[in-house]
Structure 1
Amino acid sequence: MNVMHRPVAGPKAPERFFIGGRWIDPISRQTLKVVSPTTEELLMTYPEAGPADIDRAVSAARDAFDNGPWPRMSPSERAGYLRRVAGLLSERLEDIAQAWTVQVGAPISLTRKLVGQNPTLFNYYADLIETYPFVDDRTRDDGGKVKVVKEPVGVCAAITPWNAPLVLLSYKVSAALAAGCTMVAKPSPETPLEAYILAECIEKAGLPAGVFNIVPAGREGGDYLVRHKGIDKVAFTGSTGAGKHIAAVCAERLARVSLELGGKSAAVLLDDADFQAALPSLMVYTMPITGQVCFSLTRVLVPERREKEFLDLYLGAVSNIKVGDPMDPSTQMGPLTMARQRQRVEGYIAAGRAEGARIACGGGRPKGLDRGYYVEPTVFTGVTPHMKIVQEEIFGPVVSVMTYRDEDEAVAKANNSQYGLSGAVYTADPQRGYEMARKMRTGSITINGMIVDPKHPFGGFKQSGMGREGGPEGLDNYVETKTIHFAG
């Protein structure tokens, strides 16, 4: 089965599920719809997995783990399969980029730059498991031998959101398969196409039947999957509210869980920062994918005495962002992904006004874009830490600029959040930046820029989640530790 027979501008709707190594017809009669964020027209209708379909997928993954060869292969054997998947994904990068743009509204110029992360992750974990200490020989005080072994956690459910569909799925699938786990993937109902491309690549790479299964579904299907007794671990990326629910459900049977959740990340420009040099990364990462990214730098802290200098630069750049058709390579910002997202963002803009913040630019719908879920890039000033727009994740192109008097106040304002996912510090002195980064309660910080590297861990403090994705730590998410003592 090839989902992508023609350019994704007119995507072919998936018709089957990939379960047990085969493309099979749905049992459920339910369907899901994908609506274009650019035209507001229906793109496609496709099957939604019901409980019986999910049961089949979990059963296939369970059998593949309990009885199949995948967990019992050597790391080098699994690595060979992962490299084949990486190579096949590399051949489909344009398909993946177009699917991302058409479903989400992310500019094609951006998606083409980012899709390479998918094969990178599979190649990275293929390399890592060939040196990863799956077996560690130790010695007890009495001279006896001990082996500490890392074994796959079991059958994993991967539940991923719509904003970066395949990248976020690849983080989970590449690490879990590398560890020897088997998987049931539930992509977001709004963005199924990339998961189907991955399934096609896994099928073509020849992985054993049942190692990877895909069952697209909405919230009810996701809840059914999370509660399924055949699932040993849930890996979730999405909202903090949904993450809390999943954690509570998993706690009932002590199923393993890792969560990459919301963020309200701060960019702190210290008093010695070069604002002109900081501008390029701020332009990319304060509102990436129309602000629909968990690590967006949505709170910008600047020295009180340099506020005007910063705003003159930043507002000028934001006002010149080209908003339009995401398939146009010159577009810098596309629409929000769904009608409910636009309503949400417009609600937060109204709340900011009501609480007394000032709109320095944006705040409405772009002129000439009457169709599509567009909102202007928006910057608030005159913001105080207690405001709703500062404390809550908006998930849209809305940034709050705050001032501070000294470094202690900057730290206090940066840390005044229930979230702790990412952040940035800008300074002329990297050592000073490092010291500031150590004071910020957040999982990932870049000094003088913004970097997310799949070969290094990413994840959050506080209500931004638990566990890490990427790097060796991402593999640790999918193993259990067993201690074997040799007596006598």
Structure 2
Amino acid sequence: MTLDRDAFYIDGGWAAPVGSNLLQVVSPHSEEVVATVPEGSAGDIDAAVAAARRAFDEGPWPRMSPAERIAVIEAFSGLYAARLGEMADLITLEMGSPTSFSNLAQAPAPWMQIEAFLTIAREFPWESTRVGNLGTPVMVRHEPVGVVAAIPPWNVPQFTIMSKVVPALLAGCTVVVKPAPETPLDTYLMAELLQEAGVPAGVVNIVTAGREVGEHLVSHPGVDKVAFTGSTAAGRKIAAICGQQLKRVSLELGGKSAAIVLDDADLAKTIEGLKFTALMNSGQACVAQTRILASRANYATVVDALAQAVGAMVVGDPADPATEIGPMVAQRQQERVEKYIALGQEEGARIVTGGNGMPEGLDTGWYVRPTVFADVDNSMRIAQEEIFGPVLSVIPYDDVDDAVRIANDSDYGLAGTVWTGDQEAGLDVARRVRAGTYGVNTYTMDFAAPFGGFKASGIGREFGAEGLGQYTELKSVYLEG
């Protein structure tokens, strides 16, 4: 069965592209082309935005009751749940995520988001009345923000699409999705499921394209809000465009998160936890806690335990269930990570496992050896800049105050953890670290709670009632007493 596609999903059907350019979807493991899809142009974006605009301005979706929209998304959820294995396999194929992670998170977590947002939408205060300060009633309405441009990255494509599309739809918005050119295949399956669920024509439109065409979408006068997940550099540019146009924007950007290991932590449990929180999705995760902070008294022990665990991780074919670390998404990403490994050595850090060069037994694929650096100072670039690969820096601290200072000494503030035998002490650390999400002896994402970052890690929040509210405008209606 071929995975090739020749059309975009626009206005409820499959529309031929304006141009003839194709994007090649390349397996990061085999380096072979596994599919081709059309490459969108400004004309395709114009058609998609026009369809979304009509569907919002004239169509039934924004005028349905919340209960009617919920019913359609419930149907979508059921269809999605039945195709989780297929979705996981597509994402493993197109971006190299280990199948164990794809079946744990890449496909099930988006479905869990749908279910969580449905629960939130059923209880959301779409209209509420309060008593004003003059003693007369005021109705407060949450109305849809309009046409939404949803721009996800390649690392967790469905996860980041669902965090935008589902709350937007439940709020009554219409959407244009621009998937990353590396990972278009999963969105075609999603489009089929949306169509089957009965989402009206024009409510969701999907055009795969590169960065330049993405900028055309961001700046399009027909778009009311931009929801973006990706690099901080791209986020700054999007924010500038939206600021000029006074366009609503939410940004989920990069991170350089810290995991603080206190001396009373259960080391075996901590190391097992760090393997996931620091190296999930082969290190290609914005929440990856790649700065490991250990006390000077316990530093050598933590370094040795981490090096042993990371050095033993299975690197290889992402389709193999035993694989823990797969390839980087593209050759440019492999080269980027290798440059940071070389830079870390130039800066004076010491490699205790890993380093540059292909992992043993692999001749093809964009692989990087999982690498742990010791003797890292937090001012080094490998400790300050997001590498987006399986590279960890172990940084010593003097006491808890010093650990918190180091964790906060970053342009970013997305995630973090503290590992300790004393939960109250852990909570005290959690309250002091400036990050939007934090874990004590664990790290997860609960879709009932807001997710997002401080500082250069973004603007706005996803998930929870707060994430749904990002796709609404508030209207106050003053009533006669």
**TM-score of the aligned structures, taking structure 1 as reference length:** 0.97
The answer to whether 1:402 aligns with 2:422 is no
Separation of aligned partners in 2, 1:34 and 1:289: 19
Letter in 2 for 1:76: A
How far residue 53 of structure 1 moved from its aligned partner, in angstroms, is 1.1
In structure 1, what is the equivalent of residue 167 of structure 2?
Answer: 175
Q: How many residues align?
A: 479
User: Which of 302, 317, 327 matches 2:309?
Assistant: 317
In structure 2, what is the equivalent of residue 440 of structure 1?
Answer: 433
In structure 1, what is the equivalent of residue 361 of structure 2?
Answer: 368
In structure 2, what is the equivalent of residue 105 of structure 1?
Answer: 96
In structure 1, what is the equivalent of residue 146 of structure 2?
Answer: 154
Q: Per the alignment, in what secondary structure is the counterpart of residue 245 of structure 1?
A: helix
How far residue 201 of structure 1 moved from its aligned partner, in angstroms, is 0.4
How far residue 190 of structure 1 moved from its aligned partner, in angstroms, is 0.5
Separation of aligned partners in 1, 2:145 and 2:206: 19
- Structure 2: runs of 5 or more not aligned: none
The answer to whether the Cα contact below 8 Å between 2:282 and 2:324 also exists between their aligned partners in 1 is no
1:221-254: CA deviations, max 9, x gaps? Answer: 1000001000000000000000000000111110
In structure 2, what is the equivalent of residue 453 of structure 1?
Answer: 446
Separation of aligned partners in 1, 2:8 and 2:79: 20
The answer to whether the Cα contact below 8 Å between 1:82 and 1:123 also exists between their aligned partners in 2 is no
1:317-352: CA deviations, max 9, x gaps? Answer: 111101011111111111111000011001101110
The answer to whether 1:359 aligns with 2:351 is yes
How far residue 140 of structure 1 moved from its aligned partner, in angstroms, is 2.1
More off after superposition, 368-377 vs 270-279? 270-279
Letter in 2 for 1:381: A
Percent of aligned pairs with the same residue? 48
In structure 2, what is the equivalent of residue 469 of structure 1?
Answer: 462
Letter in 1 for 2:353: C
The answer to whether the Cα contact below 8 Å between 1:49 and 1:216 also exists between their aligned partners in 2 is yes
Separation of aligned partners in 2, 1:407 and 1:80: 50
Letter in 2 for 1:226: V
The answer to whether the Cα contact below 8 Å between 1:79 and 1:127 also exists between their aligned partners in 2 is no
The answer to whether the Cα contact below 8 Å between 1:146 and 1:485 also exists between their aligned partners in 2 is yes
Separation of aligned partners in 1, 2:21 and 2:249: 28
Separation of aligned partners in 2, 1:123 and 1:404: 42
Separation of aligned partners in 2, 1:142 and 1:419: 44
Q: Per the alignment, in what secondary structure is the counterpart of residue 482 of structure 1?
A: strand
Separation of aligned partners in 1, 2:208 and 2:165: 15
Separation of aligned partners in 2, 1:479 and 1:13: 37
In structure 2, what is the equivalent of residue 36 of structure 1?
Answer: 27
RMSD: 1.0
The answer to whether the Cα contact below 8 Å between 2:55 and 2:202 also exists between their aligned partners in 1 is yes
In structure 2, what is the equivalent of residue 68 of structure 1?
Answer: 59
The answer to whether 1:207 aligns with 2:177 is no
Letter in 1 for 2:266: D
In structure 2, what is the equivalent of residue 343 of structure 1?
Answer: 335
How far residue 311 of structure 1 moved from its aligned partner, in angstroms, is 2.0
How far residue 57 of structure 1 moved from its aligned partner, in angstroms, is 0.6
The answer to whether the Cα contact below 8 Å between 1:176 and 1:475 also exists between their aligned partners in 2 is yes
1:258-279: CA deviations, max 9, x gaps? Answer: 0000000000011221111212
User: Which of 246, 255, 261 matches 2:253?
Assistant: 261
The answer to whether the Cα contact below 8 Å between 1:420 and 1:464 also exists between their aligned partners in 2 is yes
User: Which of 86, 92, 98 matches 1:95?
Assistant: 86
The answer to whether the Cα contact below 8 Å between 1:89 and 1:118 also exists between their aligned partners in 2 is no
More off after superposition, 143-152 vs 337-346? 143-152
In structure 2, what is the equivalent of residue 16 of structure 1?
Answer: 7
How far residue 68 of structure 1 moved from its aligned partner, in angstroms, is 0.9
The answer to whether 1:244 aligns with 2:236 is yes
Q: Per the alignment, in what secondary structure is the counterpart of residue 280 of structure 2?
A: coil
How far residue 487 of structure 1 moved from its aligned partner, in angstroms, is 4.1
How far residue 26 of structure 1 moved from its aligned partner, in angstroms, is 1.0
How far residue 431 of structure 1 moved from its aligned partner, in angstroms, is 1.1
Separation of aligned partners in 2, 1:87 and 1:98: 19
